Structure 1
Amino acid sequence: MSTLGISDGAAAWALDLEHALTTRSADALLGLFAEQSDLRDNGALTWDFRQFHGRDAVVSMLLSVLDEIQPTGFSVSSAWPEPQVVGEGDDAMVEAFFDFDTKSGRAVALINATPDETSAYGFAVRAMYTRLEELKDVRAPDRHPRGNGFTPSYRGQTFGEHDRRRRDWAEGSPEVLIVGGGQAGLVAAAHLAKVGVDALIIDKNERVGDNWRLRYDSLCLHNTVEMNAFPFLSYPPHYPEFLPKDVMGDWLETYARYLNLNVWNSAEFLGAKYADEDGLWAATVQRSDGSERVLHPQHIILATGGIGGRPSVPTLPGLSSFRGQVIHSSAYTKAADFDVRKAVVVGTATSAHDIALDLYENGVEVTMVQRGPVVVNQVETANLVYAEHLDPTIPTDLVDLRDGMTQVRPIREAGLRQYHSFAKSLDSDLLKGLEGAGMRIGDGFDGQGWPDLFQRTGGGFYLNKGASDVIIAGGIKILPFDRVVEFAEAGADLDDGTTLDADIVILATGYQNRQVEVADQFGAEVAERVGEIARWDEEGEWSAMWGQTGQRGLWINGGAILQIRPATRLMALLVKADLDGRIPESFRRRPKSASDSGLTSKNAPQASR
């Protein structure tokens, strides 16, 4: 039975972990983890985003990386909160942070453990999350560099001339080409600059922020400003809780200017081919004047969306005979742009609700056609899942680190099931009202609610900001898709012999997987190597996102801002490590088409993704 306090127990556990690794003792390592334990690593031990489930898998991984990674120096961290018990009763959990070094960097580890008086440490470790914090011998750019901030290329060169030459890449190529100038692309460039990597962003829009400005006019963020914090620059205090899309667009433009990020606007990425011989891409970019440039970066970051960027347009029976307008939700801006009296919106997820509400508020008779069950919560209930993000006493960096632990698959799945059950009870009146209006309410995959759906498919849920109330009141009608026999000239012919008249059909039917874009831009072979993007993989990570992909030199960024913020910092470290030649070949991710998964090398963990 332990006689140690939590802090002493954590210190003793760190010493024993260090000794077990030094002596390469599998038995000693097995004694440090509960039988049902998990480990998630972001860059520190695997140079990738990986998860390992079960004590045997955790111990095998730790032993396999000793030669190349050389983890050492484990000690209770002074930079993070002291070891403590969080929660009460059956939910009580020991939380402890540790610093450690690797051959190439410095890292942090977080453990979650259950109190256990029979353990020598006073707890049993159930999960461990390790994260690369910095690379050794990589110096951040100087703060307020001396002089004028640039070195002239020729006598008499001004800063403006120097800056234009730098931005135009008149000579050479950037180390990293970033395709997409939204939040994912900008934050990636900002983090790369922090570790001294030259990056160029190309974006097809005329202005930075147009990826928000050009969306439907009623769009506002459905999560709070605190959750959407950017690195290196804070929102001004007058920004509202839920940012309108135009405010977000202007913010992105401000962010790019403030951090002096290099963006080519009105520039289209035409595709790229990778040369294994020299490790360079030949990337073709069309500028605003129609001219084409071929750049040769070592890395390309595709930052054109989180779940998917190309509209998914289903084949609906008879729709080609409809004499009114047919558009995808991505082409919708505002009701005033369409001279219509009756509208059919196919779909019941977020865009469908937002568009239906905008049409209704502008006097249009709206029917939503529901193809599958939808998860609905009040937006206030939805944001409870991010409670720590809303607590001003908890630093964002700490929230992000803890969030890395919550993404351990068993922790995430159990937590989301518990949250969704609670959310349903809070919103029971809302859900009963919607069901009474004819809407099919679902629970998502395995009862994990809307947060899992967001990462699993990007759709299938709505966080109520007004549309649900209108539906319950009868202002927006709900029609099950199985009642539609086919579309006809005047609208939708229904199973009772009547016709639902419409002037416009709006397909709020989501987006294709980004693998389709990869195939178009890089070729089918590269797309096969990368596999599906932003789907749960066999380990529990978001496939092909932020970490290595099956194609060397190709990285994928995207997702919600609260995901992009911590993950992109890690991606930048991995890119920098690759540029410096720090990632051993045995740690490279294998192409998705390879049959291997799990630990396939005695030197390092490898897996298909």
Structure 2
Amino acid sequence: MNDLQVETEAVEWVSAFDDAIGSRDAAKLKDLFSDPAYFRDNGALTWDYRQFHGRDVVVSTLVGLAGEIQPHRFRISSDWPAPNLQDHGGNEIFEAFFDFDTKFGKGVLVLNAVRDGASSRLRARAIFTRLEDLHGTEPLARHPAGRGYVSAHPGQTWKQHRDAARQYLDREPEVVVVGAGQAGLTTAACLRRLGVDVLNIDRYDHVGDSWNKRYDALYLHNPIEMNGFPFLPFPPHYPQYLPKDLIGDWLDIYARYMDLTVWTGTEFVSATYDASADRWDAVVRSSDGTERELHPRHIVWATGGIGGKPFVPTWDGIEAFAGKVMHSSQYTGAADYGIKKAIIIGVATSAHDIARNLHDGGVEVTMFQRGPVVVNNVDTANLAYAGYLDPAIPTELVDLRYGIGLINPLRESASRAYHTMAQDIDRELLDGLKAAGLELGDGVDGQGWLDLFLRTGGGYYLNTGTSELIAAGKIKIEQFKRIVEFVPAGVELDDGSIVQGDIIVLATGYQSRKSEVASVFGQDIGDRVGEIARLDPEGEWASMWGQTGQRGLWFNGGGINQMRPGSQRLALLIKADLAGYISETFRRKANG
């Protein structure tokens, strides 16, 4: 089939879709979808992050949404690739990108279609819609005329103007973003681009310290190509796997580049929602103890990737250990402790990174495993996001395709197929780890680490060198269930032997963000929001980037490749709410 034929079929499908959704004709819509069919939306039609599974559900949902949102004028996009044929695991998928308008803004629709065996017509297997812009709230003009500010008094310089504005003495911020890491800063940058008055609050003394103060051996385990920030990609000379200090420096650069207002050394103490005034009453505390009340319309909680506060288990008798016990979040580097032997409890990413750092520092390391772990080489892991590594494919296009790939039944199938392939590729490595005593797993229903990242945020390791040390016996593995008791010198095992250690590092992960929210906003709001950054029943990452069960409270986090498009959608949704576009019909209901 030539390009003209492909485009002709795309025009035929989208013209029929435009007519059917415009007339809210369920029968016509149903005829355009395969069975099963799937629909995912990021803000364009639902003002939220939602997905719908099954042809009848998809059709009834689209008909229901069309009345108020009024999607129309679907046409082949000039911003994205022309309609084309894609090979998805040996299956031919028809891919097309369509721009469209709604009553409130503009969106893009991604179509994945298959050919009906009986009629040879294209039928949609999956569609993904994403909010791209809002009517009447276009981004700030490129290089606004003049000096970029209005003087409050004769002779006021730009710096004097910005210094005064950053104090918020004459106004309230429309949005307070809690956190000035990658999630917080990208959220603020996208909001500022839309003309929203936004303030970042961060407990660290300097922007970037959320990375600078982590353990010395920390590097990203995914490649730089997928980790660029909105509006500012990394320079080409940066390494493929970014060290934590370079990320910390980049956060500081980014905040300055985007001219963001960040109050560092400031703790977000508490907040209550005033429904009558449609605003928050929030208390923040600076490092000198001074407290101040702020009244934003919206709060974005952007304090971490997957979890909140460190999870520190309580084990009977651990106080008998004579050495130091610390959580992995407190660990810095082997040279800081002057030790000869170390015990690490946990075998996921942080545990592996710390174990290697200790080993490289001449420390004898034993890792205790509490549950199965999924392991793959980092090069094998890169195959899961090969699109980001192809310089011919723009990052924004990969992000858009990633959006349709997160439709849950499709994601699960793809994760399962990838995991099977990855296990075959890494068979030699995995056999060596098994022989060394490491218990390997396959994740949930054989979906491997890709699924675990979304489901729990842990339970896997993408190998950058520690696995070879384990397989060679240079880092020892023991099973946690063999521990009989903690003793002054370390731990006693079930055979009476003692595993000695001068420190015990608890690489035991983090509490859910739900508990963190309850501790700051109160249990009632914690209950209204429910789970955060965990798969919800639809297959979305609960409460992330879209609405939550508490009006005016939003969340950002996860991997940088998730935050990049997520921050943009989150900013648009907040702007839409400020503009009064989101009706009660589309408000997220409280959890439960």
* TM-score, scaled relative to structure 1: 0.95
Pairing of 1:160-179 with structure 2 (within 5 A): 160-179=159-178
**Are 2:418 and 1:439 equivalent residues in the alignment?**
no
Amino acid at match of 1:316: W
Give distance in 1, aligned partners of 2:272 and 2:359. 48
Which residue in the other structure is 2:39 paired with?
A: 39
State how many pairs are aligned: 589
Instruction: Report the Cα offset of residue 283 of structure 1.
Output: 0.8
In the alignment, what sits opposite 2:83? 83
Aligned pairs for 1:285-300 (under 5 A) are 285-300=284-299
For residues 514-541 of structure 1, the C-alpha deviation after alignment (integer angstroms, 9 at most, x for no partner) is 0111111100000000001101000010
**1:157 alignment counterpart:** 156
Q: Deviations over 1:333-381 (max 9, x none)?
A: 0011112211110000000000011111111111000000100011110
CA distance in 2, matches of 1:234, 1:227: 10
Query: Which residue does the alignment assign to 2:20?
Result: 20
1:219-230 to structure 2, matched below 5 A, reads: 219-230=218-229
Distance 1:320 1:114 in 2: 62
Instruction: Please identify, of 273-282 and 13-22, the stretch whose mean Cα deviation from structure 2 is larger.
Output: 13-22
SS at structure 2 position matched to 1:37: strand
1:582 aligns with 2:586: no
Paired letter, 1:212: W
Q: Are 1:334 and 2:333 counterparts?
A: yes
String of CA shifts for 1:447-469, please: whole Å, max 9, x gaps.
11111111111110111111101
Match of 2:399 in 1: 400
| Separation in 1, partners of 2:365, 2:24 | 67
Map of 1:104-503 to 2, 5 A cutoff?
104-116=104-116, 118-119=118-119, 121=121, 123-503=122-502
Letter in 2 for 1:62: L
- 1:311 touches 1:511 (CA, 8 Å); kept in 2? yes
Q: Provide the C-alpha distance between the structure 2 equivalents of 1:522 and 1:115, rounded to a whole number of angstroms.
A: 51
The answer to whether the 8 A contact 1:68-1:584 is kept is no
Written as runs of structure 1 = structure 2, the 5 A alignment for 1:63-78 is 63-78=63-78
Matched with 2:96 is: 96
CA RMSD of the aligned region, Å?
1.2
Amino acid at match of 1:587: F
1:11 aligned to 2:11? yes
Q: Which stretch of the first structure deviates more once superposed, 21-30 or 393-402?
A: 21-30
Cα distance 1:88–1:129, how it changes in 2: closer, same or farther (>3 A)? closer
Residue of structure 2 equivalent to 1:524: 523
Distance 1:288 1:490 in 2: 39
How far did residue 500 of structure 1 move? 1.2
Please state how far the C-alpha of 1:161 moved relative to its aligned partner.
1.6
Distance 2:149 2:522 in 1: 40
SS in 2 for 1:131: strand
Per mean C-alpha deviation after superposition, the further-off stretch among 126-135 and 310-319 is: 310-319
Could you tell me which amino acid in structure 2 is paired with residue 108 of structure 1?
V
| Superposition pairs of residues 550-565 of structure 1, within 5 angstroms | 550-565=549-564
Question: Which string of whole-angstrom CA distances, capped at 9 and with x for unpartnered residues, describes residues 290-309 of structure 1?
Answer: 21110100000000012112
> Which amino acid in the other structure matches residue 191 of structure 1?
C
With over 3 angstroms needed to count, the CA separation of the structure-2 counterparts of 1:171 and 1:89, relative to structure 1, is closer
Identity %, equivalent residues: 55
**Does the CA contact (< 8 Å) of 1:190 and 1:261 recur in 2?**
yes
Secondary structure of the equivalent of 1:92? strand
Alignment of 1:43-54 (within 5 A): 43-54=43-54
Cα distance per residue 1:407-439 (max 9 Å; x no partner): 000111000100010000000000000000000
Higher mean C-alpha displacement, 75-84 vs 206-215 = 75-84
SS of residue in 2 equivalent to 1:36: strand
Please tell me whether the aligned partners of residues 491 and 503 of structure 1 are also in contact (alpha carbons under 8 angstroms).
yes
Distance 1:591 1:510, change over 3 A: same
Q: How many Å apart are 1:279 and its aligned residue?
A: 0.5
2:7 partner letter: S
Q: Residue 164 of structure 1 aligns to a residue in which SS?
A: helix
Give the letter for the 1:50 counterpart.
R
C-alpha contact (below 8 Å) 2:373/2:440 kept by paired residues: yes
1: CA distance, partners of 2:257 / 2:287: 24
Partner Cα distance (1:13, 1:315) in 2? 59
CA contact (8 A) 1:177 1:297 kept: yes
Letter in 1 for 2:26: A
Tell me the secondary structure at the aligned position of residue 168 of structure 1.
Answer: coil
Q: In 2, are the aligned partners of 1:176 and 1:300 still within 8 Å (CA)?
A: yes
Report the secondary structure of 2:33's partner residue: coil
Question: Does the aligned pair in 1 maintain the 2:376–2:462 contact within 8 Å?
Answer: yes
State the distance in 2 between where 1:535 and 1:488 align. Answer: 37
Q: Distance in 1 between matches of 2:145 and 2:19?
A: 46
Which 5+ residue runs of structure 1 have no aligned equivalent? 594-609
Higher mean C-alpha displacement, 145-154 vs 382-391? 145-154
Moved over 6 A (4+): none
TM-score normalized with structure 2 length: 0.98
Equivalent residue number for residue 545 of structure 1: 544
Q: Distance in 2 between matches of 1:139 and 1:307?
A: 32
Q: Distance in 2 between matches of 1:117 and 1:12?
A: 18
**Superposition deviation, residue 569 in structure 1:** 0.2
User: Post-superposition shift, 1:235?
Assistant: 1.2
1:324–1:489 CA contact under 8 A, matched in 2: yes
Letter in 1 for 2:450: P
Decide whether the 8 Å contact of 2:344 with 2:365 is kept in 1: yes
